[in-house]
Amino acid sequence: MRPLLLLDIDGPLNPLRANWFPGPVPAPGYQFHELTPAGGIAYRVALNPRHGQRLRELARESFELVWATTWLEDANRLVAPLLGLPNDLPVIPLHRPHAPRGKCSWKAEQILAWVGGRRFVWFDDEINRATRDWLASACPADHLAYRVEPHLGLVDADFDEFKLFAQSL
């Protein structure tokens, strides 16, 4: 089985902490879009179609793509078409817990339960040392919990790391 590549939107694909966001002009390569998720409130995102191309390459070569985002099914409906990704990717049903999990990302336990014993790369702007430490102790499968800086979004070096992980398996 190919490893999973778990995709977060806000932060990695939509660099919402960038100094140019949500200004009038996006950074080179990015395009602004007004999207209305199922909740009914319009939301401005900045997406880079090149990220979709790079993710499709990774899917052809090494990974199965899976959404790991609070956008849930809206990721397939709204974001996937703008990135040129399939609109039927699996979606991990993430739900914010009532009580925080301490310093570890609130998504970690739900992601680990969903992936089972599969190998995976998870990229997210919420990943920190506590999350990586918890996953190292709780996850028997090979994995890479990879932090993407939300003021930068995904950059070429990040994609290179994902490829290196896949090659190391």
Give residue limits of the domains in the chain: 4-15+48-168
> Token digits for 80?
């996937």
Whether 61 has a pLDDT exceeding 80, the answer reads yes
Where does the pLDDT of residue 92 fall: very low under 50, low under 70, confident under 90, or very high at 90 and above? very high
Specify the CATH class of 4-15+48-168 in words: alpha beta
Residues counted in the chain: 169
Q: Which parts of the chain fold into alpha helices (H)? A: 49-61, 74, 80-83, 108-115, 129-138, 156-168
> Token digits for 96?
């914010």
Task: Compute CA distances 32 → 49, 62, 78, 167, whole Å.
Answer: 11, 30, 13, 34
pTM: 0.93
pLDDT in tens, 105-132: 889 999 999 999 899 999 999 999 999 9
Whether 52 has a pLDDT exceeding 80, the answer reads yes
Give φ, ψ of 32 to 5 degrees.
-85, 145
Where does the pLDDT of residue 51 fall: very low under 50, low under 70, confident under 90, or very high at 90 and above? very high
